[in-house]
A and B are shown apart, each in its own frame.
Chain A
Amino acid sequence: MSSIPEDLSYTKEHEWVAGLDDGRTVTVGVTAYAAEQLGDVVYVQVPEVGAAVTAGDAVGEVESTKSVSDIFAPVTGEIVEVNAAVVDDPSLVNSDPYGEGWLFRVQIGEEPEDLLTSGEYTSLTSAEA
């Protein structure tokens, strides 16, 4: 079973959100569960720095050998940083989804809604498995 760190928030689209407690900027990536489902990731498209995003918008994509999935903005705000390393080496999504495989950072514009706790996300993945 893939790991689901307790200190992160999650979305139904299998993304994680870090740093909600610390203030205004959060880091976003895809979960280990999602990475396992995708298989080897070969292409990552991230939004542009400066882009205004709304929670639920498709803002990028993750492509693997067999499939392609949209990346959704988990929160509303402005993209302030993207992970150039993961664009260069998409396999980081598989090898370190919660670390070096992070995708982008968002400066939060509105109070986030509908994010899941690690417990809620665990239930979601158990139901799907």
Chain B
Amino acid sequence: MSRSTPLREVHEALGATLTDFAGWLMPLRYGSESVEHNAVRTAAGLFDLSHMGEIFVTGPQAGEALDYALVGWLSALDVGRARYTMIVNGDGRVLDDLIVYRLAPEEFLVVANASNYSMVARELTARAEPYDARVDDRSGSYALVAVQGPKSTEILRTLTDADLEGLKYYAGLPATVAGFEALIARTGYTGEDGFELFVRNEDAAPLWNALTEAGEGLGLIPAGLSARDTLRLEAGMPLYGNELTADLTPFDAGLGRVVRLDKPGDFVGRAALTERAALADQEAGPDGTARRLVGLVARGRRVPRHGYPVTRDGVVVGEVTSGAPSQSLGKPIAMAYVSPSAVEAGGLAVDIRGSHEPVDVVDLPFYRRSK
């Protein structure tokens, strides 16, 4: 049985198509996913992300414990700031990608993916054991509501006295929103400006309704996971399970920059990642198979999808990790791992159910918002 978020009844009342995602019953779309996608690009979208995990790490050595447990340098993070980071195993392979917020000198919030947070909490608990730090998985008590899009600040401003203009990208601050205690974070997964609001479960529905009201006349509409996926794909953001897996190191995904080999002390995966870092980024690949994460734009109208082979002269040279029709480009787009030599040579195609459809390699992201 799928678990429900505190907003399930709200979604049902809105006529959402619900789908199972990582064991959660989540809104896939409320109406047209293209309309929802475009609303986020041009006005604003309201998302329920309560399936994400919230793990608190507290105590005098919370920062040191996270430095050991994760690839990032979290003890160096300023209070009020956030960092994109990863948890890897001893071989340096990615177990999950995370956002860590430093809420206070001795308090961190680790946000993990729905499919992984129980494992992440277990790993953090085990890894923090030698430190004076406490790991507390509060995913069951917290809801996460996101407002994303160029109108986000205007909408949220009517509900809070918090200094939204002063809140930087990848920063968070505790505040009252519509009368509810919340952590306001300027983070997102859409490629647009926006906010993620962490609140207690019981406050999620009234907060959602307050945001809906505040967004009336400004183009705010609820947006489901389908739009979220096409938005993040256009923004070139990786999805765990697609671009990131337990077979790959952060370097293989072109994200070696998150691995802070320059931080003091040992950390889980350091030896393996030090060795991997000595090789050119993405040129060595897992098990010696060179591959590079690239963006693809299809010339035709058929859509390359997760798992489809990338080919050159009929020979398989890679695999699509994510693909979708792009509203912003008007063409199908995809991310794929492809052999570097084939990328250089060009003339790539994607085997779409037996027919080799030509694609062009482009720089990521596919879409970048205008400032």
Contact = CB atoms under 8 A, between A and B. Distances in A.
Contacts of B29: 39
A40 B302 contact: no
Nearest to A36: B17
Contacts, number: 38
B295 to A, nearest CB: 18
Nearest to A39: B33
Interface in B315-369: 324-325, 332, 353
A43 B303 contact: yes
A76 to B, nearest CB: 24
- Range of interface residues on B (Cβ < 8 Å): 10 to 19
Contacts of B302: 43, 45, 63
B13 to A, nearest CB: 16
B32 A40 contact: yes
Interface in A21-76: 36, 39-40, 42-43, 45, 61, 63, 65-66, 68
B28 interface: yes
B350 to A, nearest CB: 13
A94 interface: yes
Interface string A110-127: 000000000000000000
B118 interface: no
Given A39-B29, A42-B325, A65 B34 contact: yes
B230 interface: yes
B305 A65 contact: no
Contacts of A42: 301, 303, 325, 332
B226 interface: yes
B306 to A, nearest CB: 11
A36 B305 CA distance: 21
A39 B153 CA distance: 30
Given A42-B325, A43-B301, A43-B303, A66 B32 contact: no
A42 B28 CA distance: 17
Contacts of B17: 36, 39
Contact of A94 (B32, B332, B353): B32
B34 A40 contact: yes
Contact of A68 (B28, B226, B305): B305
Contacts of A39: 17, 28-29, 32-33, 226
B324 A65 contact: yes
A124 B284 CA distance: 52
Interface in A7-32: none
Nearest to B34: A40
B33 A40 contact: yes
A88 to B, nearest CB: 10
A39 B226 CA distance: 9
Among the interface residues A61, A66, A68, which one has the most CB atoms of the partner chain B within 10 A?
A: A66
30 contacts: A36-B17, A39-B17, A39-B28, A39-B29, A39-B32, A39-B33, A40-B32, A40-B34, A42-B301, A42-B303, A42-B325, A43-B301, A43-B302, A43-B303, A45-B302, A61-B353, A63-B302, A63-B303, A65-B33, A65-B226, A65-B230, A65-B324, A66-B28, A66-B226, A66-B229, A66-B324, A68-B303, A68-B305, A68-B353, A94-B32
Given A40-B34, A68-B303, 12 more contacts: A42-B303, A42-B325, A43-B302, A45-B302, A63-B303, A63-B325, A65-B33, A65-B34, A65-B226, A65-B230, A66-B33, A66-B324
Top 10 closest A-B pairs, CB basis?
A: A42-B325, A40-B34, A43-B301, A65-B33, A40-B32, A39-B33, A40-B33, A66-B226, A65-B226, A63-B303
